Chain A
Amino acid sequence: KAGVTQTPRYLIKTRGQQVTLSCSPISGHRSVSWYQQTPGQGLQFLFEYFSETQRNKGNFPGRFSGRQFSNSRSEMNVSTLELGDSALYLCASSPPTGDTEAFFGQGTRLTVV
Protein backbone atom coordinates (compact mmCIF):
# COMPACT_ATOMS: atom_id res chain seq x y z
CA LYS A 1 0.00 0.00 0.00
CA ALA A 2 1.44 3.37 -0.96
CA GLY A 3 2.35 5.76 1.84
CA VAL A 4 1.56 9.43 2.21
CA THR A 5 2.79 11.38 -0.80
CA GLN A 6 3.68 15.05 -0.64
CA THR A 7 4.53 17.23 -3.62
CA PRO A 8 6.65 19.03 -4.38
CA ARG A 9 9.57 17.95 -2.18
CA TYR A 10 11.36 21.29 -2.42
CA LEU A 11 10.21 24.82 -3.16
CA ILE A 12 11.91 28.20 -3.25
CA LYS A 13 9.64 31.23 -3.19
CA THR A 14 10.07 34.97 -2.82
CA ARG A 15 8.60 37.02 0.01
CA GLY A 16 5.07 38.12 -0.78
CA GLN A 17 4.31 35.24 -3.11
CA GLN A 18 1.87 32.47 -2.36
CA VAL A 19 2.44 28.73 -2.43
CA THR A 20 0.32 25.58 -2.62
CA LEU A 21 1.47 22.24 -1.24
CA SER A 22 -0.21 18.93 -1.98
CA CYS A 23 -0.73 15.78 0.07
CA SER A 24 -2.17 12.43 -1.00
CA PRO A 25 -3.06 10.27 2.01
CA ILE A 26 -2.84 6.52 2.34
CA SER A 27 -5.69 4.84 0.47
CA GLY A 28 -8.74 4.61 2.70
CA HIS A 29 -7.59 7.30 5.11
CA ARG A 30 -9.97 10.23 5.31
CA SER A 31 -8.19 12.34 7.92
CA VAL A 32 -5.33 14.55 6.76
CA SER A 33 -3.36 16.80 9.10
CA TRP A 34 -0.68 19.37 8.35
CA TYR A 35 2.29 20.33 10.51
CA GLN A 36 5.05 22.91 10.28
CA GLN A 37 8.53 22.02 11.49
CA THR A 38 11.15 24.68 12.16
CA PRO A 39 14.39 24.50 14.15
CA GLY A 40 13.11 27.10 16.62
CA GLN A 41 9.53 25.97 17.19
CA GLY A 42 9.72 22.26 16.46
CA LEU A 43 6.65 20.53 15.08
CA GLN A 44 3.46 22.53 15.28
CA PHE A 45 -0.04 21.54 14.23
CA LEU A 46 -1.61 23.61 11.45
CA PHE A 47 -4.98 22.01 10.74
CA GLU A 48 -6.81 18.76 10.16
CA TYR A 49 -9.34 17.86 7.50
CA PHE A 50 -11.80 15.01 7.53
CA SER A 51 -14.30 14.32 4.76
CA GLU A 52 -13.61 17.72 3.15
CA THR A 53 -14.26 19.62 6.41
CA GLN A 54 -11.72 21.35 8.61
CA ARG A 55 -12.09 19.63 11.95
CA ASN A 56 -9.27 21.15 13.99
CA LYS A 57 -7.12 24.23 13.60
CA GLY A 58 -3.86 25.23 15.20
CA ASN A 59 -2.67 28.68 16.18
CA PHE A 60 -1.50 30.04 12.84
CA PRO A 61 -2.47 33.24 11.03
CA GLY A 62 -5.15 33.28 8.37
CA ARG A 63 -2.47 33.32 5.66
CA PHE A 64 -2.34 29.58 6.18
CA SER A 65 -5.31 27.76 4.72
CA GLY A 66 -6.16 24.36 3.41
CA ARG A 67 -8.77 22.24 1.79
CA GLN A 68 -9.57 18.64 1.17
CA PHE A 69 -11.08 17.10 -1.92
CA SER A 70 -13.60 14.29 -2.24
CA ASN A 71 -10.79 11.80 -2.89
CA SER A 72 -9.21 12.84 0.47
CA ARG A 73 -6.27 14.57 -1.19
CA SER A 74 -5.46 17.80 0.59
CA GLU A 75 -3.79 21.05 -0.32
CA MET A 76 -2.29 23.67 1.92
CA ASN A 77 -1.92 27.27 0.82
CA VAL A 78 0.22 30.00 2.29
CA SER A 79 -0.35 33.52 1.01
CA THR A 80 1.89 36.58 1.31
CA LEU A 81 4.91 34.50 2.23
CA GLU A 82 7.25 35.73 4.95
CA LEU A 83 10.85 34.69 5.61
CA GLY A 84 9.65 32.98 8.79
CA ASP A 85 7.47 30.63 6.78
CA SER A 86 10.59 28.76 5.68
CA ALA A 87 10.09 25.31 7.13
CA LEU A 88 9.51 21.65 6.48
CA TYR A 89 5.78 21.12 5.99
CA LEU A 90 4.60 17.66 6.89
CA CYS A 91 1.34 15.98 6.09
CA ALA A 92 -0.07 13.03 8.01
CA SER A 93 -2.99 10.75 7.35
CA SER A 94 -4.92 8.65 9.84
CA PRO A 95 -7.46 5.86 9.57
CA PRO A 96 -11.09 6.95 9.65
CA THR A 97 -12.01 5.25 12.90
CA GLY A 98 -10.47 3.75 15.97
CA ASP A 99 -7.05 4.78 17.15
CA THR A 100 -5.41 7.93 15.87
CA GLU A 101 -2.12 6.55 14.57
CA ALA A 102 -0.62 9.10 12.20
CA PHE A 103 1.43 8.25 9.13
CA PHE A 104 3.60 11.01 7.75
CA GLY A 105 4.84 11.89 4.31
CA GLN A 106 8.39 12.95 3.47
CA GLY A 107 7.49 16.61 3.67
CA THR A 108 7.87 19.68 1.49
CA ARG A 109 10.87 21.87 2.25
CA LEU A 110 9.82 25.49 1.64
CA THR A 111 12.46 28.18 1.49
CA VAL A 112 11.34 31.81 1.34
CA VAL A 113 13.96 34.28 0.11
Chain B
Amino acid sequence: KQEVTQIPAALSVPEGENLVLNCSFTDSAIYNLQWFRQDPGKGLTSLLLIQSSQREQTSGRLNASLDKSSGRSTLYIAASQPGDSATYLCAGPLTGRRALTFGSGTRLQVQP
Protein backbone atom coordinates (compact mmCIF):
# COMPACT_ATOMS: atom_id res chain seq x y z
CA LYS B 1 0.00 0.00 0.00
CA GLN B 2 1.36 3.40 -0.99
CA GLU B 3 2.18 5.72 1.89
CA VAL B 4 3.25 9.31 1.43
CA THR B 5 5.00 11.29 4.15
CA GLN B 6 5.72 15.00 4.21
CA ILE B 7 8.32 16.65 6.37
CA PRO B 8 8.17 19.06 8.10
CA ALA B 9 4.52 19.22 9.14
CA ALA B 10 4.80 22.95 9.69
CA LEU B 11 7.33 25.59 8.79
CA SER B 12 7.62 29.29 9.60
CA VAL B 13 10.20 31.40 7.78
CA PRO B 14 10.92 35.09 7.27
CA GLU B 15 10.13 36.60 3.90
CA GLY B 16 12.88 36.16 1.31
CA GLU B 17 14.18 32.80 2.48
CA ASN B 18 14.66 29.89 0.14
CA LEU B 19 13.07 26.71 1.46
CA VAL B 20 12.67 23.03 0.72
CA LEU B 21 9.65 20.87 1.40
CA ASN B 22 10.11 17.12 1.44
CA CYS B 23 7.87 14.30 0.30
CA SER B 24 8.68 10.60 0.55
CA PHE B 25 6.71 7.62 -0.72
CA THR B 26 7.01 3.93 -0.05
CA ASP B 27 6.13 2.43 -3.41
CA SER B 28 8.53 3.12 -6.26
CA ALA B 29 5.75 2.14 -8.67
CA ILE B 30 4.45 5.66 -8.31
CA TYR B 31 3.54 6.84 -11.77
CA ASN B 32 4.06 10.56 -11.40
CA LEU B 33 4.04 13.09 -8.59
CA GLN B 34 2.04 16.25 -8.25
CA TRP B 35 2.48 19.14 -5.85
CA PHE B 36 -0.53 21.14 -4.73
CA ARG B 37 -1.20 24.23 -2.70
CA GLN B 38 -4.25 24.57 -0.45
CA ASP B 39 -5.40 27.78 1.18
CA PRO B 40 -7.58 27.45 4.31
CA GLY B 41 -11.03 26.11 3.50
CA LYS B 42 -10.34 26.05 -0.21
CA GLY B 43 -9.70 23.44 -2.87
CA LEU B 44 -6.34 22.32 -4.20
CA THR B 45 -4.35 24.29 -6.73
CA SER B 46 -2.00 22.25 -8.88
CA LEU B 47 1.53 23.66 -8.77
CA LEU B 48 3.71 21.17 -10.59
CA LEU B 49 3.38 17.72 -12.12
CA ILE B 50 6.49 15.61 -12.52
CA GLN B 51 5.85 12.81 -14.96
CA SER B 52 7.47 9.41 -14.51
CA SER B 53 10.00 10.09 -17.26
CA GLN B 54 11.11 13.41 -15.76
CA ARG B 55 13.36 14.19 -12.83
CA GLU B 56 12.32 17.76 -12.21
CA GLN B 57 9.91 20.49 -13.20
CA THR B 58 10.06 24.25 -12.78
CA SER B 59 7.46 27.01 -12.67
CA GLY B 60 8.53 30.49 -11.71
CA ARG B 61 10.02 30.41 -8.20
CA LEU B 62 9.06 26.77 -7.75
CA ASN B 63 11.16 23.75 -8.61
CA ALA B 64 10.18 20.17 -7.89
CA SER B 65 12.33 17.09 -8.25
CA LEU B 66 11.48 13.41 -8.27
CA ASP B 67 13.77 10.49 -7.45
CA LYS B 68 11.74 7.31 -7.78
CA SER B 69 14.63 5.04 -6.80
CA SER B 70 14.95 6.68 -3.39
CA GLY B 71 11.22 7.36 -3.04
CA ARG B 72 11.63 11.10 -2.60
CA SER B 73 10.42 14.36 -4.05
CA THR B 74 11.32 17.89 -3.00
CA LEU B 75 9.64 21.22 -3.65
CA TYR B 76 12.01 24.17 -3.63
CA ILE B 77 10.54 27.64 -3.17
CA ALA B 78 12.90 30.51 -3.94
CA ALA B 79 12.65 33.94 -2.35
CA SER B 80 9.55 33.13 -0.31
CA GLN B 81 6.78 35.73 0.01
CA PRO B 82 3.90 36.13 2.50
CA GLY B 83 1.53 35.13 -0.31
CA ASP B 84 3.20 31.71 -0.36
CA SER B 85 1.65 30.96 3.05
CA ALA B 86 -0.53 27.89 2.60
CA THR B 87 -0.50 24.13 3.03
CA TYR B 88 1.53 22.26 0.44
CA LEU B 89 0.59 18.71 -0.45
CA CYS B 90 2.28 16.10 -2.57
CA ALA B 91 0.41 13.21 -4.14
CA GLY B 92 0.93 10.48 -6.65
CA PRO B 93 -0.94 7.63 -8.28
CA LEU B 94 0.39 4.15 -8.68
CA THR B 95 1.07 3.03 -12.21
CA GLY B 96 -2.16 2.29 -14.03
CA ARG B 97 -4.38 4.03 -11.51
CA ARG B 98 -5.69 7.55 -11.21
CA ALA B 99 -6.36 7.45 -7.48
CA LEU B 100 -4.01 9.87 -5.76
CA THR B 101 -2.41 9.05 -2.43
CA PHE B 102 -1.74 12.26 -0.52
CA GLY B 103 0.76 13.21 2.10
CA SER B 104 -0.51 15.01 5.20
CA GLY B 105 0.93 18.30 3.98
CA THR B 106 3.36 20.96 5.13
CA ARG B 107 1.79 24.10 6.57
CA LEU B 108 3.96 27.02 5.53
CA GLN B 109 3.86 30.47 7.12
CA VAL B 110 6.02 33.19 5.57
CA GLN B 111 6.45 36.13 7.93
CA PRO B 112 6.64 39.63 6.39
In the bound complex, residues from chain A placing their C-beta under 8 Å from that of B36 are 104
Partner of A56, one of B44, B46, B91, B99: B99
Q: Is A70 close to B, CB under 8 A?
A: no
Q: In the docked arrangement, what's the CA distance between A50 and B49, Å?
A: 21
Query: Which of B46, B51, B102 interacts with A43 by CB under 8 Å?
Result: B102
Q: Measured between alpha carbons, how far is A56 from B46 in the docked complex, in Å?
A: 22
Query: What is the minimal beta-carbon distance from B44 to any residue of chain A, in angstroms?
Result: 4
Does B81 have its Cβ within 8 Å of any Cβ on chain A? no
Contact (Cβ within 8 A) B105 A56: no
When chains A and B are docked, how far (Å) is the Cα of A88 from the Cα of B38?
12
Contact A94 B99 (CB under 8 A): no
In chain B, residues 19-50, which have Cβ atoms closer than 8 Å to a Cβ of chain A?
31-32, 34, 36, 41-46, 49
Would A45 and B46 count as touching, CB distance under 8 A? no
A55 to chain B, nearest CB (A): 7
Chain B 90-104 interface mask (CB, 8 Å, partner A; 1/0): 010100011111111
Q: Is the interface of A mostly helix, strand, loop or mixed?
A: strand
- Contact A45 B100, beta carbon cutoff 8 Å: yes
A68 contacts partner chain B, Cβ-Cβ < 8 Å? no
Q: Given contacts A43-B91, A90-B43, are A99 and B98 in contact (CB under 8 A)?
A: no
- Looking across the interface, which residue of chain B has its beta carbon closest to that of A32? B98
Given the interface pairs A33-B98, A58-B99, the reply to whether A99 lies near B91 with Cβ below 8 Å is no
User: Is B89 engaged at the interface, CB distance under 8 Å to the other chain?
Assistant: yes
Q: Which residue of B lies closest to A91 (CB)?
A: B43
Q: Mark A83-113, 1 if CB is under 8 A from B, else 0.
A: 0000010101010000111111111010000
Q: Which residues of chain A have C-beta atoms less than 8 A from B102's C-beta?
A: 35, 42-44
Please give, as numbers and ranges, the residues of chain B lying within 8 Å of A55 by CB-CB distance: 98
Mark B residues whose CB is within 8 Å of A.
31-32, 34, 36, 41-46, 49, 51, 89, 91, 93, 97-105
Would you give 24 A-B contacts (Cβ < 8 Å), ordered by A?
A33-B99, A33-B100, A35-B102, A42-B102, A42-B103, A42-B104, A42-B105, A43-B91, A43-B102, A45-B101, A48-B99, A55-B98, A56-B99, A90-B43, A92-B100, A99-B49, A99-B51, A100-B93, A102-B98, A104-B44, A104-B45, A105-B43, A106-B43, A107-B43
